[in-house]
Structure 1
Amino acid sequence: MPDFSGRIRRHLQVLAEDIGPRGSGTEAEARAAAYVEAQLRAVLPRVWSEDFKTPGAYAWAYLVIYGLALVGALALVAAAAAAPFASGRGLAAAALVLGVGAVVVLLRENTTAGTLGGWFRQYPSRNVIGVLPPAEAEPGTAAPVVLSAHVDSAKWGLMFDPKGVHRFRALFLGGVASMALVPVLGLAIWLTGRAVLGWIAVVPAAWLLVSMALLVHREVVGTYTPGANDNASGVAAMLALAEYFAERPPRRVPLWFVATGAEEVGLVGMLDFLRRHGHELRDAAFFIFDNIGSGHPKYAVTEGMIRSYRLDSGLIDLAARIAAAHPEWGVRPARNDLMSTDALPAVRQGFRTIAFRAEDDRGLLPNWHWPTDTLDRVDVDVINTVARLAEAMIREMDGG
């Protein structure tokens, strides 16, 4: 059984400490990408990078969306306040339009069909890609495996405080429900003329205001985290596997190694990669490594916070069989119903996909988007276990 620990430690040190915080579209992210490219060039025959533009944050797009819904909610409250003097149908119609617009744009943003990101200032980012051909078979005779991890790290914000992060999904879904309630109330008032119903909109207005305040605080006060677990751990595993397979290549299966940029601001790097290469990788299996350095090693079976997408059943079954054969690893299945990873655009576009992660006893990501996401809080043994699982899966896919 291979041991990746030494390789993993070396890459973690460079990414999480020597380079440190690596915000999307920043110079530090560029240094991390350059490091990954140099490491891949040292062991793989074909390596290149692809530049793209990215927004520097996702918060501003969400502030626009929340703002539309908030204006709609306030219009309903105004209609209720004017109820003794007017039917409020005009304000209700405005709230209906604003609320529907907010919900539609939110769904597009959250399912990676981004609508608003291009409205804001763009920054340079890039993906780094390396390909290892099989040792014996001609390229194209077996489906490739794409091993991917994002290099950028996120800003911290109060919604990610470890004391309350277990409420993050409820906070987000509460915002979604608040948006959805605005057009429902608008339609009810427009149909019935009972403007007094607009007082109910005080609740979604308050929820949306809190959500917007948290987003503004994160962008104005928050700084980029060291990103040791999120996601130097995933990049370290990917690089360790590239070095290992370069010495012992699969017989039939081509391997692609993809370090994406700008994952933390809307999965921009993976979307760009799929746009450029999806046509040549239609049969590929995607292995996504994200937050695999602290807690209990897991393989995800679902992905998505609003809509839950089932990841590939064949890859899940393979991971389960190998994990069952190695009970000492302690690998278990998990649902990812928090913020999306690079697995989401892949599975939405029909690619066979599995994602690897590590969770604490509460089923949460330790030190997620928090300043304590530092190298000393990463467990190399957990990353090593995930790398071993991925290696065993690839060997099995290669014919044993």
Structure 2
Amino acid sequence: MPSPFEPDALRATVEVLAAIDRPSASPGEAQAAEWIAEHLAALGCRVQVDEELAYTGYARSLAGQTAVGAAGALLARSPLPNRRRLGGVIALAAAAGIVEEVSNGPQVFRKLTMRRRATQNVIGETGDPAADRTLIVLAHHDAASTGRIFDQRAQRALAGRFPRAVERTDTSLPLWWPVVAGPALGAAGAVSGHRGLARTGAVLALASLAAFVDIERSPTVPGANDNLTAVATLVAVATALRASPVRGLRVLLVSCGAEESLQGGIRAFARRHFSDLDPATTRVLNIDTVGSPRLVMLEGEGPFVMEDYADPRWRDRVAAVAERCAIPLRRGLRARVSTDSVIPSRAGYPTATLMSLDETKAISNYHLMSDTAANVDYTTVADAARLVDAVARDLAEG
């Protein structure tokens, strides 16, 4: 029987699902969820599909907030004190709203302005159902919209010009900061009476608005690396655990929907299941975009405030298993984007995230139409899948 970690086996999963148009909370996402559920069930998993509600994306909501921020910044340029103060209040409210939404706060603005649609979380239970300890392996099966802002040429040019600086940098670029800078500068201009600050804030806010409108109007990427490589990992691990079962560990293979709408699926999973999962006996291993050439483990994430994941001892253990299995794994990196890991980590679950990067420390084909099955590095995907399987077996031993 061929190994489930062979590149051809991993590629087969990615190719089938990449052909489905899978925006968050869409019929295509539901079709992918159905395929995943059927395949996990065929591999002996006890499968549950949770029908949940989630938003269809992030661009529309953030376009609205940047438009509000731009309006506030423009008002803040007024020579009339009352208008200037009103503009400052509006701009400051927009800045605060953007920060809380992107940082996985209550997401008040989208609740007031957007409707939710059906999404599906697929849960495949394998391993020992009577075990006291649980390993949750996370993936997501929706795909993102592209947009001009995701063009990687500038980052690659920077890496080519300053390769040593890029290699030494272990925190990704703060892509969300300029989005908040627009309304924030508008508010600062209102307080200081500096019309130039307010004007700069308005320009930045309008540029962000244009970027979000472009994303909202752009097609959905195939999402092979982000994040069908993780779904392929779930299928491979289910296959391996069926062929060689473990005792003493329950394994939940969870593929969430609506991750690309800022963690819609995992939020619903948390509401439904966290009360039954003890943080003292549960570990979370999130797999996200593992199809670039270099496998890495994140220590934390945060678009604005960096949050290291709960319990570094868990990440130490994952790294120790990788070393024992001779799987190359780069540590020490932190991301200025959000992943599904932030939700279980904030709830106190020991959390680790496996990702991958290319030689410029970019995620290969991130949110680009070139994120196809043909452009995935399946050697890295195989390493990630082997590592997840090895970690599960290590946990089962005690």
TM normalised by structure 1 equals: 0.88
Q: Is the 8 A contact 2:298 2:335 kept in 1?
A: no
The residue identity in structure 2 corresponding to 1:163 is R
The residue identity in structure 2 corresponding to 1:117 is R
My pick for the range that moved more, 306-315 or 154-163, is 306-315
Q: Is the 8 A contact 1:76 1:199 kept in 2?
A: no
1:94 aligns with 2:86: yes
Larger radius of gyration: 1
Report the counterpart of residue 46 of structure 2 in structure 1: 46
For the residue of structure 1 that corresponds to 2:122, the secondary structure is strand
Q: How do residues 295-314 of structure 1 correspond to structure 2 at under 5 angstroms?
A: 295-311=293-309, 312-314=311-313
Counterpart Cα distance in 1 of 2:392 and 2:41 = 22
My pick for the range that moved more, 34-43 or 178-187, is 178-187
What per-residue deviation string (whole Å, max 9, x for no partner) do you get for residues 336-384 of structure 1? 4242111111212222111111101111101000010011111211101
Residue among 4, 12, 15 paired with 1:13: 15
Counterpart Cα distance in 2 of 1:293 and 1:360 = 9
Q: How do residues 1-400 of structure 1 correspond to structure 2 at under 5 angstroms?
A: 4-5=5-6, 6-17=8-19, 19=20, 21-79=21-79, 88-113=80-105, 114-118=107-111, 119-134=113-128, 138-139=130-131, 141-142=132-133, 144-164=134-154, 169-188=173-192, 195=193, 197-220=194-217, 222-283=218-279, 284-311=282-309, 312-327=311-326, 329-399=327-397
Counterpart Cα distance in 1 of 2:187 and 2:44 = 54
What per-residue deviation string (whole Å, max 9, x for no partner) do you get for residues 137-168 of structure 1? x33x22x1101100011111011012135799
For the residue of structure 2 that corresponds to 1:218, the secondary structure is helix
Counterpart Cα distance in 2 of 1:173 and 1:278 = 32
Shift of 1:265: 0.9
Against the structure 1 CA distance between its residues 394 and 240, is the aligned structure 2 distance closer, same or farther, given a 3 Å change threshold?
same
Counterpart Cα distance in 2 of 1:248 and 1:336 = 34
Against the structure 1 CA distance between its residues 116 and 282, is the aligned structure 2 distance closer, same or farther, given a 3 Å change threshold?
farther
Q: Is the 8 A contact 2:85 2:190 kept in 1?
A: yes
What per-residue deviation string (whole Å, max 9, x for no partner) do you get for residues 156-196 of structure 1? 101101213579945521222333233333233xxxxxx4x
Q: Is the 8 A contact 2:46 2:124 kept in 1?
A: yes
TM normalised by structure 2 equals: 0.89
Shift of 1:326: 4.3
Shift of 1:386: 0.7
Q: Is the 8 A contact 1:298 1:357 kept in 2?
A: yes
Counterpart Cα distance in 2 of 1:339 and 1:160 = 13
What per-residue deviation string (whole Å, max 9, x for no partner) do you get for residues 197-253 of structure 1? 123211111111111111111212x10111111111011001111121123222111
For the residue of structure 2 that corresponds to 1:116, the secondary structure is helix
The residue identity in structure 1 corresponding to 2:276 is E
Counterpart Cα distance in 1 of 2:183 and 2:249 = 47
My pick for the range that moved more, 389-398 or 208-217, is 389-398
Counterpart Cα distance in 1 of 2:247 and 2:119 = 34
Gaps of 5+ in 2: 159-171
Counterpart Cα distance in 1 of 2:257 and 2:289 = 15
Counterpart Cα distance in 2 of 1:308 and 1:338 = 8
CA RMSD of aligned residues (A): 2.0
The residue identity in structure 2 corresponding to 1:213 is A
For the residue of structure 1 that corresponds to 2:365, the secondary structure is coil
The residue identity in structure 2 corresponding to 1:176 is V
Against the structure 1 CA distance between its residues 368 and 30, is the aligned structure 2 distance closer, same or farther, given a 3 Å change threshold?
same
Q: Is the 8 A contact 1:69 1:98 kept in 2?
A: yes
Q: Is the 8 A contact 1:175 1:204 kept in 2?
A: no
For the residue of structure 1 that corresponds to 2:76, the secondary structure is helix
The residue identity in structure 2 corresponding to 1:172 is W
For the residue of structure 2 that corresponds to 1:117, the secondary structure is helix
Against the structure 1 CA distance between its residues 146 and 213, is the aligned structure 2 distance closer, same or farther, given a 3 Å change threshold?
same
Q: Is the 8 A contact 1:297 1:358 kept in 2?
A: yes
Report the counterpart of residue 82 of structure 1 in structure 2: none
Counterpart Cα distance in 2 of 1:206 and 1:13 = 42
Gaps of 5+ in 1: 80-87, 189-194
